Structure 1
Amino acid sequence: MTVGEALKQERKNLNLTQSAMAAEVISPSFYSKVENNLHEINVNDLLAILDAHCIDIPSFFMKIDSKVKTDYFNLNTFTDRVLDIWYNKDLKQLAELQTELTKYTGNDVSFLNLQVELLTFFIKNERNAKLSDSLMQKLRAELFKQNSWSLSSLKIFRLTMRIYDLDQLTFFMASIMNKFSDFKGVNLEIVEVIAAILVNYLDNCYENNEFNQSRNVQNYLEKMPANLTLFAYKLLGRYYQALFDKNTTELTNIRQVFIDCGYQTFIQLLPK
């Protein structure tokens, strides 16, 4: 059984339409093509859909023939590994990831290779280093190709935000906020990545003294679900609002909350 056939079986068991089954993780039209084996779905989007409908993941993969299952298993935590390698600047793990990726032949392989290429650039270059024109073009092309703003594309955007100027970031922010105008049915991991992107954008606005451009993003962040997972992001949103308003009392209070919760080191990284 293929991934598409397994998804179709689960959807019918749940008595859902294709649009409902897509769970706003991918577009209904793309989901339809996955079911009909016309497109391959990347593993993060697949797992997000399964999670959204409380489908048992091991049981699902047991239905899939061994070759497909192996490919998906190898990429199960690909993007999380990319982020871990970036934070730890681990060239050995990066080399291992590159070797593993050569075994994968899915339709999203170019996007995954791009992540590794970008990761290599960020690890080996200084913070203000500029991407080559060719690599920038590849990145833009892949992000637009991933215009459904999947979990994978959102994570790679979060990782690469510093390579864009503020106008470019503002364009992408508008695209994301338009796509996720309502969080009903959206996977919580996607919501959390979006919240992290919003905070990164606010930090960029502060660095560029562009406070007016931050208002829509701050309002959007405030309206995100009242979930404890998002508490720190919402608090950081208020922190940047206080920075923009030069509200020293609010800044002190928020900094103290982080300190009381044990984040003394983190608070040193925030602008004052």
Structure 2
Amino acid sequence: MMIGEHFKRVRNSKNLTQEQMAAGIVNRSFYSRVENGSSSITADNLMKILYKHGLAMTEFLRDFDTSESNIETYQDKITVAYINKDILALEDIYLHFKYEDVRTKRLLKFLIAELNGTATRKQFKKLSYIFFKQNKWDEETLWLIFHIMDWYEMSDLRDLIDSVIKKFNYKNSTERMKQLMIRIAIRYLAICFKRDKDDSKAKDIINCLKSLPNTADMRMYKIITVYYDKLFSHKYDEASDIANILNNI
């Protein structure tokens, strides 16, 4: 299903005209072209329309989800548990770990230690060495990198981001790899802001993320990019508005 078709279905379910759906955000003529697939809507305007009509982004994008392999689902469970600081979930995954990949099991152990406050720089350096000793740059390596980025010194982190950019060609990458590269880029922005490092690399990444295609699977990433762009531009009120929307998704 195209995003325009989904817009039309949602609009009809709410008994709204095209003019009512788009009012105050884009004109009816442009919105009509979005519905028939001849024009693309920006992430910013998509977010505004959904918010205006009380629609959750996750529900709107649900029809565009693609099925993932077992390993991807497994990895995402670990990522979600880590982001939510859910130690019990990580411990449960560790106890029932069913894949033979040593790197992932070591990462799980490290993440549990990190959330418990017992992880050390020595453990991080050993883990980082294990990740890269085979010089194997693949989807799994990108996924592993994402979880240890906070432990790098800023200069080393910039070098790591440069290596990722050089090693991977975005246009020729798998969809999973593209998603992982984008997650790493956004996490870099988060770390820069947290450490008060408004450097040129962050600006380059924001511009790169803004140029992502206006497809359904990129919407959330582009909205988050707008959020960090507002933060780095010191437009905190606008950033706060976007954060409130994201928190309600």
Q: Is this a same-fold pair by TM over 0.5?
A: yes
Letter in 2 for 1:98: Y
Partner residue, 1:231:
219
Q: Is this contact kept in 1: 2:146–2:183, CA < 8 A?
A: yes
Instruction: Give the superposition deviation at 1:111.
Output: 0.6
Counterpart amino acid of residue 179 in structure 2: E
Percentage of identical aligned residues: 19
Where relative contact order (Cα < 8 A, 6+ residues apart) is larger, the structure is 2
Cα shift at 1:225: 3.5
- Contact map agreement 1:82 1:119 (CA 8 A) in 2: no
Question: Once the 2 structures are TM-superposed, how far is the Cα of residue 257 of structure 1 from its aligned partner?
Answer: 5.2
How much does 1:175 deviate?
Answer: 1.0
Range that drifts further, 212-221 or 168-177: 212-221
Unaligned runs of 5+ residues in structure 2 are 1-66
Length, aligned pairs only = 182
**Counterpart residue type for residue 263 of structure 1:** L
Following TM superposition, by how much is the alpha carbon of 1:121 offset from its aligned partner in structure 2, in angstroms? 1.0
| Structure 1 pair 147–222 and aligned structure 2 pair: CA distance change class (3 A) | farther
Match for residue 120 of structure 2 among 127, 131, 137: 131
Q: Flag as ranges the 4+ runs of structure 1 deviating above 6 A.
A: none
Question: Could you tell me how far apart the structure 2 residues matched to 1:84 and 1:161 are?
Answer: 16
1:80–1:244 distance in 2 versus 1, CA, 3 Å: closer
CA RMSD of aligned residues (A): 3.3
**Partner Cα distance (2:172, 2:131) in 1:** 23
Please, what TM-score do these two structures have when normalized by structure 1?
Answer: 0.55
Q: Which residue of 1 aligns with 2:160?
A: 172
The whole-number CA distance in structure 1 between the counterparts of 2:182 and 2:68 is 26
Residues 131 and 163 in structure 1, CA contact (< 8 A), matched pair in contact too: no
**Distance in 1 separating the partners of 2:106 and 2:216:** 33
Rounded to whole Å, the distance in 2 between the matches of 1:170 and 1:245 is 21
- For residue 115 of structure 1, the aligned residue among 107, 131, 134 is 107
Tell me the distance in 1 between the aligned counterparts of 2:133 and 2:211.
28
| Alignment-mate amino acid for residue 232 of structure 1 | M
Q: Which runs of 5+ in 1 are unaligned?
A: 1-55, 59-72, 267-272
Q: Is 1:83 aligned to residue 71 of structure 2?
A: no
- How far residue 88 of structure 1 moved from its aligned partner, in angstroms, is 5.5
Q: 2:94 aligns with which of 84, 92, 98?
A: 98
1:200 aligns with 2:164: no
